[in-house]
């Protein structure tokens, strides 16, 4: 039997921000699909069902756990958006230099947090 080269395993790779952003991109996409779509459908169903159903939705959405879900979904959206733009630039063939890649990885996380904070500041205070 011929000896074939082994693929690098997770223990060989050196963790960096670019790996975190890539993994978070997948997690936030799944989170928006698994949590965001049911919340959206519940909201639309409550709108269609009338004032009592919508009041029930509002009560749950305005509770502490509802706010955690909504803030988490908005962070997932903005994080997925920022990392998606980063991946788009990488797909065009730019940004593969190590320093540039790390800088844009960190910036995509920071920008996502800033956009989330700005979004909720606008929702609550405007």
Binding residue ranges for heme: 80
Q: Which residues are annotated as a binding site?
A: 80
Q: Return the HEC string of 24-37.
A: HHHHHHHHHHHHHH
* Residue 98 dihedral angles phi and psi, to the nearest 5°: -60, -45
Q: What is the DSSP letter of 13?
A: S
CA nearest neighbour of 24 among 70, 86, 99 = 86
């Amino acid at each position: 039997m011929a000896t074939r080269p082994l693929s690098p395993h997770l223990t060989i790779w050196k963790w960096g921000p670019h790996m975190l952003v890539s993994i978070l991109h997948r997690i936030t996409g799944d989170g928006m699909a698994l949590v965001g779509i049911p919340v959206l459908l519940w909201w639309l169903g409550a709108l269609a069902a009338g004032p009592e159903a919508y009041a029930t939705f509002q009560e749950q959405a305005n509770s502490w756990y509802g706010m955690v879900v909504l803030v988490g979904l908005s962070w997932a959206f903005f994080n997925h958006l920022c990392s998606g733009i980063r991946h788009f630039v990488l797909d065009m063939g730019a940004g593969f230099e190590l320093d540039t890649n790390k800088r844009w990885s960190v910036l995509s996380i920071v920008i996502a947090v800033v956009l989330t904070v700005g979004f909720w500041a606008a929702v609550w205070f405007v």
